[in-house]
C-alpha cells in the first residue's frame, strides 16, 4: 500500500511536513465521466474545469507540497464500467474521485465507493436513491425532487394541464427518479401525466418512434428527460412532423450541445439550469475568460459544478492535513466555502444543492425567463 493510498483516509503529519528523499509523492485524484460518444460534451466540460483547478493548485505548491496527479477515466456512461473503475482507482492508490456526471453510473459505482472507502464527489448526480445516505459519496447537486418540482410548478404556471414525458432508459436511475418526482408534484398541483415514453432501451435506436408516441399522447406539452444531444434529436423529430407543442427538457439537457445540435427545432425550448450564465461577478468572469482562452469554448453547467466540487475537495484535503482527521470528516465539517457563484457546504449526509434558473432558448441563446 502506498503512502497516499493511506492518505485517503488518515494523515501522517510528519510525512506531509517533511518530504522524503526525491520528489514528494503525488496526491492522486481520480476523475470519471462519459468523455466519448454522443453526449460526451458534459463529461468533457467537467474534465476541463477539473484540470483548471488542479493546475492552479499545483502552481501554488500542491497539497502541503505534494502535487496533484489526475487519473482520468471514461465511464462510457455505464454503471458496470463505473463499478470496475472504482476497483482500478483502489489499486492505483487514488485518494478521492471527482464524478460521475450521470446518476446511473453513480448507482453502479456506489458499492465500490463504500467498499474501498474512497471519497467520491459528484458534481451533478441527483437521483433520490443516491441522497440522504451516510456513505462515501458526496453530491453537489440538488435532488430530482427539488429540480423536477420546479418543472411541475412551471408547467402549471404556464397553464399546461397534460404533459407527456420521454425518458432516456440508458440513465434510468436518474430519469425514473425524476419522472416519479415530477408526476407526484404535478398531479398534486392538478396536472396529468398522460404518457411516460422510454427510449434508448436495449436493442432500440432512433428517435422517430418516441416522437410519434409523444405526438399520439394527447399532451399539451412534452418534457424530455434526456441529455442535450438526445433532447435535440427528439425535438428535431417532433418539429419535423409539424408539431408546435411546447417542449421542455430536464436540467440534464442544459448544455451548449442542445442548441448546436437542435438549431431551429429547439427555439422556445425551456430548461432549468443550475448556474447563472449571466453572472457578472469578477470571480465568475475570471473563470469564464480562463476557460475560453484554454479550451476555446464556453463553460457549461457541469464545468461550474465540477469547479465547485474540486474546490470542496481541495478545502477538505487541506483541513484533513491541518486537523489530522479523516477526509470524510473534514468535508462534512466545511462551512461556507466560496464557490464560483454560491457558498458551498455539505449536510450530514454529504449532500449539497444548487441555485437554479429557468431558461428559454431564443435566437440560439439561453435566456433567463
359 is a domain residue: no
Helices (H) and strands (E) in the chain, counts: 13, 14
Cα 274 to Cα 141: distance, rounded to the nearest angstrom: 8
Residues 225 and 148 in one domain: yes
Percent of the chain with pLDDT strictly greater than 90: 90
User: What is the pLDDT at residue 19?
Assistant: 43
Residues 165 and 125 in one domain: no
Q: Is the pLDDT of residue 20 over 50?
A: no
Residues 242 and 263 in one domain: yes
Cα 26 to Cα 7: distance, rounded to the nearest angstrom: 11
Residues 216 and 149 in one domain: yes
Contact yes or no for 141/122 (Cβ under 8 A):
yes
Residue-range definition of the domain harbouring residue 119: 3-142+282-344
Residues 265 and 307 in one domain: no
- The predicted-structure confidence for 144-160, as pLDDT tens digits, reads as follows 999 999 999 999 999 99
What is the band of 286 on the pLDDT scale with cuts at 50, 70, 90? Answer: very high
User: What is the pLDDT at residue 8?
Assistant: 38
**Predicted TM-score of the model (pTM):** 0.90
- Boundary residue ending a domain (273, 305, 321): 273
Cα 36 to Cα 30: distance, rounded to the nearest angstrom: 17
Residues 8 and 138 in one domain: yes
352 is a domain residue: no
Residues 138 and 287 in one domain: yes
235 is a domain residue: yes
25 is a domain residue: yes
369 is a domain residue: no
Secondary structure class of 279 (helix, strand, coil):
coil
Q: Is the pLDDT of residue 202 over 90?
A: no
C-alpha cell belonging to residue 21: 528523499
Domain count of the chain? 2
Residues 89 and 189 in one domain: no
Cα 354 to Cα 154: distance, rounded to the nearest angstrom: 18
Mean pLDDT of the chain: 93
- Boundary residue ending a domain (256, 273, 290): 273
Q: Is the peptide bond before 100 cis (omega within 30 degrees of 0)?
A: yes
120 is a domain residue: yes
Cα 238 to Cα 227: distance, rounded to the nearest angstrom: 16
CATH number at residue 224: 3.40.50.2300
100 is a domain residue: yes
Cα 359 to Cα 369: distance, rounded to the nearest angstrom: 5
User: What is the pLDDT at residue 21?
Assistant: 53
Residues 119 and 154 in one domain: no
- Boundary residue ending a domain (273, 294, 319): 273
- The predicted-structure confidence for 153-195, as pLDDT tens digits, reads as follows 999 999 999 999 999 999 999 999 999 999 999 999 999 999 9
CA angle at 296 for the pair 52 and 340, rounded to the nearest 5°: 40
Amino acid at each position: 500500500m502506498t503512502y497516499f493510498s493511506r492518505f485517503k483516509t488518515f494523515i501522517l503529519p510528519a510525512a506531509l511536513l517533511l518530504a522524503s528523499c526525491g520528489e514528494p509523492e503525488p496526491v492522486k485524484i481520480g476523475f470519471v465521466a462519459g468523455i466519448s460518444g454522443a453526449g460526451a460534451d458534459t463529461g468533457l466540460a467537467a474534465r476541463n474545469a477539473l484540470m483548471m483547478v488542479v493546475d492552479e493548485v499545483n502552481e501554488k505548491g500542491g497539497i502541503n507540497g505534494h502535487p496533484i496527479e489526475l487519473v482520468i477515466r471514461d465511464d462510457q456512461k455505464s454503471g458496470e464500467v463505473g463499478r470496475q473503475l472504482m476497483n482500478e482507482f483502489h489499486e492505483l492508490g487514488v485518494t478521492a474521485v471527482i464524478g460521475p456526471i450521470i446518476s446511473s453510473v453513480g448507482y453502479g459505482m456506489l458499492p465500490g465507493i463504500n467498499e474501498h472507502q474512497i471519497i467520491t464527489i459528484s458534481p451533478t448526480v441527483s437521483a433520490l436513491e443516491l441522497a440522504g445516505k451516510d456513505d462515501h459519496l458526496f453530491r453537489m447537486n440538488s435532488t430530482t425532487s427539488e429540480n423536477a418540482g420546479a418543472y411541475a410548478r412551471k408547467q402549471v404556471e404556464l397553464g399546461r394541464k397534460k404533459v407527456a414525458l420521454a425518458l432516456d432508459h440508458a440513465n434510468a436511475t436518474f430519469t425514473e427518479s425524476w419522472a416519479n418526482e415530477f408526476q407526484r408534484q404535478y398531479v398534486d398541483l392538478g396536472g396529468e401525466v398522460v404518457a411516460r415514453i422510454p427510449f434508448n432501451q436495449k436493442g432500440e435506436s432512433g428517435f422517430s418512434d418516441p416522437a410519434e408516441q409523444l405526438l399520439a399522447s394527447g399532451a399539451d406539452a412534452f418534457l424530455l428527460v434526456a441529455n442535450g444531444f438526445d433532447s435535440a434529436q427528439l425535438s428535431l423529430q417532433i418539429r419535423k412532423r409539424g408539431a408546435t407543442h411546447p417542449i421542455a427538457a430536464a436540467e440534464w439537457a442544459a448544455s451548449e450541445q442542445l442548441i448546436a445540435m437542435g438549431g431551429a427545432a429547439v427555439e422556445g425550448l425551456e430548461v432549468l439550469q443550475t448556474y447563472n450564465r449571466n453572472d457578472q461577478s469578477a470571480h465568475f468572469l475570471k473563470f469564464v475568460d480562463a476557460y475560453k482562452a484554454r479550451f476555446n469554448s464556453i463553460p457549461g453547467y457541469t464545468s461550474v459544478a465540477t469547479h465547485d466540487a474540486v474546490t470542496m475537495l481541495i478545502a477538505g484535503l487541506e483541513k484533513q492535513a491541518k486537523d489530522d482527521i479523516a477526509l470524510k470528516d473534514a468535508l462534512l465539517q466545511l462551512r461556507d466555502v466560496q464557490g464560483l457563484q454560491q457558498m458551498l457546504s455539505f449536510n450530514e449526509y454529504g449532500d449539497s444543492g444548487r441555485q437554479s434558473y429557468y431558461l428559454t432558448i431564443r435566437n440560439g441563446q439561453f435566456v433567463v425567463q
